[in-house]
Structure 1
Amino acid sequence: MAIEEEIKAEFGRSGFDLEDEEEILNKCLPFCINYSLNPSDLVSSWEVYYLNRQLNGSTVQSAEIDGFLTYLQNEQKEAIIKEETDIHTYSSRDVEMILNDDDISKDNAPGTPTDHQQVLSPAYDATSLTNGNVLSSGKSWKPTTAFSKRTNRLEVKFSINKMPNLEITKQEPSHDNDEDDIVRKVCPRPRCSLVVHGSGPRPDCRFMYDRTEDRFNALENQIKKHTRVYVASGLYEEPMDPTIASQRSIFTVGMICCDVEGRLNEKSVMLQSSAENSGGQRVRLELQQLSHFSVFPGQVVGIEGHNPSGHCLVASKMVDSIICSPGESENLNPAKKLAFDKENHPTDLPCKLRELSMVIAAGPFTTSDNLSFEPLAELLAYAKKRSPQLIILMGPFIDTEHPDIKKGTTERSYDEIFRIEILRRLEDYIECMGSAVRILLVPSIRDANHDFVFPQPAFDIKLPDLKPQIASLTNPGIFEANEVKVGCCTMDILKQLSGEEISRFSADVKPGDRMSRLVNHILKQQSFYPLYPPAESVPLDYSLAPEALQVPWVPDVLILPSDIKYFVKVLNDESEGNHMKCISVNPGRLTKGEGGGTFAELDFYESADTSNASIVGI
């Protein structure tokens, strides 16, 4: 059997498909020959690379092979170096001493760096650099990392419509002078207006005071809210107690529950009605007569059906949507209408309404092998060339899952890292681009320098000179920019919903796209976190402004970062008379393991149908 066939067979045994079979095999064959690797060793190395990079799917893509082969080559080199005991690994200080022709005595000979030594950001490494990336000898130096050696840079992964002037698929490394020239040539866009909805917890709030009463009231209010909307529509009668035996068809409203510990299934679906209708009792819900359904624990639904025995409600129709127009939504519940925070609203700046350019990225913002924050620096360099009106950066910024943060090997405090590596870079970006740009930061529960609670208060950023330009939202957060309504949440609700949802569709019903269905659950339930009980890793606190979890109206743009594969989708729900459209964006993660990830660029023009968006690999 030819080596190519053996490589293909080994990938198949490990459960991987090849995207471009001929190209991938042609690239892998020379490595097997040059490094005396058999196909099984090659595929084993791919599995390690696959897990380290946290790649999605089981298809080996051609775009990932170059990075894999670079990783494989480095592994071979490291193996050879380990065999040579006399080989010394030089640090940046050693290089500087050699360039300065300093004598290295035996007493002062540098040793091999220990595992806990970090490669600091070139811009702020005061021990080995004097100014930027220049050594004290006057010669330039840049750290070599897995991220800096990647081959595919700024590649468009996916797009809807067409981004104007998007010529980034094949870019050569830019020079500093060239970048300055490009920045000078960019025509600055007008500064966008900004209105932040202030419904979330405050930065100085107390948490961990969640009571059973708070949880009960939050769930009960959610059921009552849906009930009011259904009755006000005139399509449904007043809800009745679903636990009472009756031969006639009734209408009731309740929350989907599971009668056992573990994952929901068709045989374990229960319906819990409100305390007003049934005292909060549960009844088994039979879904066999429905042509299609999609349910998850915590979902509030309206059910038409009958309960002949008193022990099982047989559903003939399910209603799970209360989407309505923004004006109707505000009038239905004026007591909970969110207040506007107009502190940052510029009334004296000209702007085109309903037009907004954005760059959206979600953390981590540094690779897992260092705390240099190279991906963030490259993202800001890209933004200098594209000049968006608004940059939305969503946590984690100082990721608790980062190996150095977990081990506690960093010598700087979390606040210091955040101030130097994040805020100082953003200040430099604004100083370069001028007063027309805005930056919004959204925290995550994985941020080591912030409160571990959800909903989450905004970062307490004290930058008096740049207060109108750098701001922080609560998590989740809602704001308007140039009258474009945007909602965002860093909790990975899509991944959690994906693991809990069950669905069935008959042959004559099109199931549609799964990701669109998951996002529609959030819009239909009007909640950023409709899942109950919450996932074990979620510190959900109902004592902190439960209205912060509400989605009061259908936003123009809904940003939901997730570990699930990136996407941009235009959602159009026409059920029950709804005609609202929304652009849903999952920008992916800016980094994946030691390599680059993805971010999103969106130009909104008047409506979802006429807007442009792209997912860009960094």
Structure 2
Amino acid sequence: MDMDIEDEVVRLFSKSGLSEAADLLKGMLITSCDPYVQNIIKTFKLNALVVHDEWELFCVNNRVSSDHATYLDKFKIAVKKNVNELKKRLGNTKTITHQYHNKPTLMFKFLFSHRDQTLQNKIDKQDEQEFDEIFDFSDVPTVEMVPLPNNNNNNNNNSTDNNTDNYIDDEFEMDLTEDNNNNTFNGISSGLSSHDKQQSQRAIRFAQTKVPSFRFDKRQGADEIVQEYVGERLKSKDIAPQQKMIPKIIEMVPPSKDSGNVDNTPYPTKYMSQTLEGRTKALGDSVLKYYDQFQVEFDPVANADPSNEIQRAVGRIWLYKTGLSLTSQFKLLGNNQSSVNTFSIPNPNEPIFSGQVVMVEGKRIPGQHFGCSKIYYPKQLEFLNSNQRSKKDSSCYIIVASGPFSEYENTLYHPFKELCKVIENKRPNIVILNGPFIDESNQNNQFLDKSFEEFFYEDIIQPLESITSTQFIICPSLRDVQHDYVYPQPPFKSRSKNTSSNIHFVTNPSTLLIDNSFTIGLSNTNIIQQLELRLDNGKNDIKTTGTPLICEKIIQQQCYYPLHPAEVPIETQFIDSIKFPSITPDILIFGKVDKPFIANSNEVLCIGSGQLMNHSGKTGTYTELIVAPGDEIIVHRSKVITRII
């Protein structure tokens, strides 16, 4: 090698979490990672720069934020699979390590393949010219958006539209079709599963994202009202400011009667611990619990008799063949009509989606086909019984905000700090904060001066603990880099037994009982937008008028995430944990929505608070909710205001 491998390993990998300053002595790495990393470099005849670059991508793909040394064996396997591609990059990087050994700023410019404006202003023109002479940027991929492979076989590849929304999807999509068996990814043969391939593309898309420059202190319209909802039976005296805010009692409602205490629920630590057959079976078996949830009676034994003229079947709507609409032909996963293969609905505008539990009624058609004359949806669960509610004399004031909580071009968390000022000034009873708190799409997270977990507890949770007059509910997100990527998500762990009593870590999703008075359901996924796309068949105006309809479908399915195949990493052995408990929540709050909304759907107050920072990198919104005392249904005695932060 043309370089001192040991020095390069020390310099590069100490910046990536593999060593601490205390472990460095005269440029020698004395941790157990040092010989292992050098062995990878020597074995595959690479250099430290290329291996470091591959390690950064490996950490993103595998969500590595701590215990880095335990991942080195997997990293070596990943390097071996991709060694040919890495060697192609080797020739372009040999000279740069010599010339810029003492110039880490220029080295970082190379590693990220683009020039950050802040760093560029700090580099003088001489270094800039010298850098360009040594390395020809014409051979480096530019940071332009590259469309992902399009499975729709259209010919619109020449579009010049630069809207990054066409290429960015915050949640991965699990494709269970038969066309997803190709083991080649970007021309490289691998043994990766389809989930792994899509996660790799997901990381690449985030790495290539361009975010427009935005200064939070120059924002416009702060505290302006975006939308407002006032319950028809709300009285002005019930929403008057109180001289003394009364703390509210918060309890988590177990997902089901058999789950016991929600805090003892054994959540998984990783996704896809079940086989594809096991997940499919779990989805089919879960249909049994819906048999008594329809307006008409369903008798599995009587309906299995082929001699009956009118028959009924219950199951999950499932795609029959790619290219066919669900209404024209679909399967029913878990249905009792084993002799019937496919079903059809005569109304092409029927709002159905894959994974939806339905009951169909009709006649069997020759050729083992079932023509549906009627379709039934599950009944809505009852609200919390009035005998179980405590009557209150004061209103409850709640603020709801959803991440990201920082600008995309830095990690200063100005929006979060501004939100804390709002909370201190308005003194709500409860604040509901939905993640992501450390957003995986923020490329500047790598420049944090502490681990993700330390930053989360020291810079986000500790400031909240000091606001003792307010109870805080903390709900995680699948985009939180410091938390488990699995759905349902377990709550964040208390860092110590000394965690303040005003901090409540809850699951995603979760159902909360507030002061024994009313219930709130929290769902921090992109389910609203995902169902909007599935229900939009081009013949209805679902995008402008369909939010109440989408919320209605979620309420009917008695489930926080009824879409299957899911676009989130559902662990099906815990599928009961994403269902409503034995009641329908009075209020449904959806944490991850692109645009804020307020809707009354089936007497349920549905709220999408928007995001504190939206996907374009500009300031977003938060929501204020006031629930007044009384005996009326919650949606009729509530006031909701969405404001710009």
Fold similarity call, TM over 0.5: yes
SS at match of 2:484: coil
For 1:392 and 1:500, the matched residues in 2 are separated by 29
Q: How many residues align?
A: 421
SS at match of 2:588: strand
**Aligned: 1:388 with 2:411:** no
SS at match of 1:596: coil
Equivalent residues in 2 for 1:35-184, closer than 5 Å = 146-161=215-230
Using the TM superposition, give the Cα deviation of residue 320 of structure 1 relative to its aligned residue in structure 2, in angstroms: 1.1
Using the TM superposition, give the Cα deviation of residue 410 of structure 1 relative to its aligned residue in structure 2, in angstroms: 3.1
SS at match of 2:420: helix
- The verdict on how the C-alpha distance between 1:257 and 1:354 changes in structure 2, with shifts beyond 3 A counting, is farther
**1:202-238 CA distance string (max 9 Å, x none):** 58754342245652453234321221223xx5x3342
**Aligned: 1:453 with 2:486:** yes
Contact 2:381 2:558 in 1 (8 A): no
**Aligned: 1:317 with 2:317:** no
Contact 2:612 2:622 in 1 (8 A): yes
**1:359-388 CA distance string (max 9 Å, x none):** 001110101011111111111111222211
In structure 1, what is the equivalent of residue 437 of structure 2?
397
**Aligned: 1:614 with 2:609:** no
- The verdict on how the C-alpha distance between 1:503 and 1:553 changes in structure 2, with shifts beyond 3 A counting, is farther
**Aligned: 1:558 with 2:588:** yes
In structure 1, what is the equivalent of residue 342 of structure 2?
284
Equivalent residues in 2 for 1:59-458, closer than 5 Å = 146-161=215-230, 187-199=243-255, 205-208=268-271, 209-212=273-276, 214-230=278-294, 235-239=296-300, 248-261=309-322, 264-274=325-335, 277-279=336-338, 283-288=341-346, 290=347, 293-326=350-383, 352=392, 355-405=395-445, 408-428=446-466, 430=467, 434=468, 436-458=469-491
SS at match of 2:332: strand
Using the TM superposition, give the Cα deviation of residue 421 of structure 1 relative to its aligned residue in structure 2, in angstroms: 1.9
For 1:305 and 1:411, the matched residues in 2 are separated by 64
Contact 2:549 2:601 in 1 (8 A): no
Using the TM superposition, give the Cα deviation of residue 245 of structure 1 relative to its aligned residue in structure 2, in angstroms: 6.4
For 2:327 and 2:361, the matched residues in 1 are separated by 18
Equivalent residues in 2 for 1:536-615, closer than 5 Å = 538-544=568-574, 546-572=576-602, 581-592=603-614, 593-605=616-628, 606=630, 607-615=634-642
- The verdict on how the C-alpha distance between 1:353 and 1:495 changes in structure 2, with shifts beyond 3 A counting, is farther
Using the TM superposition, give the Cα deviation of residue 266 of structure 1 relative to its aligned residue in structure 2, in angstroms: 3.2
For 1:225 and 1:487, the matched residues in 2 are separated by 21
Using the TM superposition, give the Cα deviation of residue 417 of structure 1 relative to its aligned residue in structure 2, in angstroms: 1.5
Contact 2:282 2:573 in 1 (8 A): no
SS at match of 1:419: helix
For 1:87 and 1:158, the matched residues in 2 are separated by 53
For 2:551 and 2:348, the matched residues in 1 are separated by 21
- The verdict on how the C-alpha distance between 1:246 and 1:295 changes in structure 2, with shifts beyond 3 A counting, is farther
In structure 2, what is the equivalent of residue 69 of structure 1?
none
For 1:205 and 1:251, the matched residues in 2 are separated by 36
For 2:500 and 2:391, the matched residues in 1 are separated by 20
SS at match of 2:379: coil
Equivalent residue for 2:504, pick from 471, 477, 480: 471
Contact 1:373 1:421 in 2 (8 A): no
- The verdict on how the C-alpha distance between 1:85 and 1:401 changes in structure 2, with shifts beyond 3 A counting, is closer
Equivalent residue letter for 1:446 = R
For 1:379 and 1:188, the matched residues in 2 are separated by 21
**Aligned: 1:484 with 2:518:** yes
Equivalent residue letter for 2:545 = D
For 1:584 and 1:464, the matched residues in 2 are separated by 35
Equivalent residues in 2 for 1:516-555, closer than 5 Å = 516-535=548-567, 538-544=568-574, 546-555=576-585
In structure 2, what is the equivalent of residue 135 of structure 1?
none
Using the TM superposition, give the Cα deviation of residue 249 of structure 1 relative to its aligned residue in structure 2, in angstroms: 2.0
> Which range moves more in the overlay, 438-447 or 545-554?
545-554
Equivalent residue letter for 1:518 = I
For 1:87 and 1:549, the matched residues in 2 are separated by 62
- The verdict on how the C-alpha distance between 1:312 and 1:365 changes in structure 2, with shifts beyond 3 A counting, is same
**1:296-346 CA distance string (max 9 Å, x none):** 000010111111214321111111132131469xxxxxxxxxxx9xxxxxx
**1:535-589 CA distance string (max 9 Å, x none):** 2xx21112236334445321111011233311011112xxxxxxxx111011011
Equivalent residue letter for 1:478 = T
For 1:187 and 1:495, the matched residues in 2 are separated by 40
- The verdict on how the C-alpha distance between 1:364 and 1:265 changes in structure 2, with shifts beyond 3 A counting, is same
Which is strand-richer, 1 or 2? 1
For 1:213 and 1:355, the matched residues in 2 are separated by 50
Contact 1:489 1:560 in 2 (8 A): yes
Normalising by the residue count of structure 1, what TM-score does the alignment of the two structures yield? 0.61
Percent identity, aligned pairs only, is: 23
> Which range moves more in the overlay, 600-609 or 262-271?
262-271
For 2:406 and 2:622, the matched residues in 1 are separated by 14
Structure 2: unaligned runs, 5 residues or longer: 1-116, 128-212, 256-261
For 1:193 and 1:215, the matched residues in 2 are separated by 37
Contact 2:600 2:606 in 1 (8 A): yes
For 1:273 and 1:542, the matched residues in 2 are separated by 15
**1:493-538 CA distance string (max 9 Å, x none):** 11121222256989xx999930111111111001111111112xx2
Contact 2:214 2:618 in 1 (8 A): no
Using the TM superposition, give the Cα deviation of residue 150 of structure 1 relative to its aligned residue in structure 2, in angstroms: 1.1
Using the TM superposition, give the Cα deviation of residue 273 of structure 1 relative to its aligned residue in structure 2, in angstroms: 4.2
For 1:512 and 1:240, the matched residues in 2 are separated by 43
SS at match of 2:290: helix
For 1:153 and 1:297, the matched residues in 2 are separated by 41
**Aligned: 1:501 with 2:501:** no
Contact 1:247 1:308 in 2 (8 A): no
Contact 2:383 2:586 in 1 (8 A): no
For 2:323 and 2:463, the matched residues in 1 are separated by 45
Using the TM superposition, give the Cα deviation of residue 484 of structure 1 relative to its aligned residue in structure 2, in angstroms: 1.3
SS at match of 1:543: helix
For 1:206 and 1:291, the matched residues in 2 are separated by 41
- The verdict on how the C-alpha distance between 1:305 and 1:504 changes in structure 2, with shifts beyond 3 A counting, is farther
Contact 2:594 2:611 in 1 (8 A): no
Q: Which has the higher contact order (CA 8 A, sep 6+)?
A: 1
- The verdict on how the C-alpha distance between 1:206 and 1:273 changes in structure 2, with shifts beyond 3 A counting, is closer
Contact 1:242 1:273 in 2 (8 A): no
Equivalent residue letter for 1:469 = N
Structure 1: unaligned runs, 5 residues or longer: 1-77, 89-143, 166-184, 329-339, 341-349, 573-580
For 2:510 and 2:301, the matched residues in 1 are separated by 36
Equivalent residue letter for 1:493 = I
- The verdict on how the C-alpha distance between 1:319 and 1:186 changes in structure 2, with shifts beyond 3 A counting, is closer
Contact 2:327 2:348 in 1 (8 A): no
SS at match of 1:488: strand
In structure 1, what is the equivalent of residue 33 of structure 2?
none
